[in-house]
Amino acid sequence: GENVEQHPSTLSVQEGDSAVIKCTYSDSASNYFPWYKQELGKRPQLIIDIRSNVGEKKDQRIAVTLNKTAKHFSLHITETQPEDSAVYFCAASREAAGNKLTFGGGTRVLVKP
Amino acid sequence: NAGVTQTPKFQVLKTGQSMTLQCAQDMNHNSMYWYRQDPGMGLRLIYYSASEGTTDKGEVPNGYNVSRLNKREFSLRLESAAPSQTSVYFCASSDRPSLYGYTFGSGTRLTVV
């Protein structure tokens, strides 16, 4: 089955700096890669996703890049703000019945004012 | 429009007790999932239901059973709770995970003593 590794496990940045979280996956057939943000005590919420036919996607201050050859994808947050402090999860799945997501271990991001 | 509703939000069980976690969605989604979240281990899939009438094991199914009661409801049962099942449990649903990702419920924090 799919295995997703996520690094780093914790990340501390100064407000205004950029944050980068990296994930690798094992199943070359995976073709959908979402990112979720989980604030303390809350449910995970989808913030951005990318499909295998696209190399990069942006949404305001966040962007995701995908390298299918190397089987890794990354989340980039620019101009970080205190409200970006949360746990971020990457995930991967393939187009198939069930389409179950396999999640990485999560990255706790702390943005220091 | 409630989305995905989980009950209860908190529960304390004694070792050996049984309980059922309830999950219902009102978005007419075909697929439903149960995950557990433990510190540093991300979200791990327990069971999923690709469509009404079907259920399949995920990564960590031991000690759990599920029932897809109808299209809306997907319950998770612990027959004989163990301390290792102390965790936060999330239910999720999706119509096309590879297009829209998951919608998560608010979670159930379960402690087994």
Tell me the pLDDT tens digit for each residue of B97-110: 667 789 999 999 99
The span from the CA of A34 to the CA of A51, in Å, is: 8
Q: What is the pLDDT at residue B40?
A: 74
Which of B51, B57, B99, B102 to probe by mutation at the A interface, max A CB count within 10 Å?
A: B102
Q: What is the pLDDT at residue A98?
A: 64
Does A44 contact chain B (CB < 8 Å)?
Answer: yes
The span from the CA of A86 to the CA of A3, in Å, is: 23
Write the CB contacts of B32 (distance below 8 Å, at least 6 apart in sequence).
B23, B25, B48, B49, B68, B74, B91, B92, B93
- Residues of chain B above pLDDT 70, percent: 96
Q: What is the pLDDT at residue A111?
A: 97
The interface residues of chain B toward chain A in range 24-83, judged by CB-CB distance below 8 A, are 31, 33, 35, 40-45, 48, 50-51, 56, 58-59
The kind and range of the H/E element at B46 are strand B43-49
Report which of B57, B43, B93 is spatially closest to residue A91, judged by C-alpha positions: B43
CA distances from A26 to A31, A88, B60, B89 (A): 12, 20, 19, 26
Q: Indicate the SS3 state at residue A106.
A: coil
- In degrees and rounded to multiples of 5, residue B19 shows phi and psi of -165, 160
Q: Flag if B94 and A99 touch (Cβ within 8 Å).
A: yes
The span from the CA of B48 to the CA of A1, in Å, is: 15
DSSP code for B80: S
The span from the CA of B107 to the CA of B21, in Å, is: 10
Quick check: B2 pLDDT over 80? no
Question: Which residues in chain A land under pLDDT 50?
Answer: none
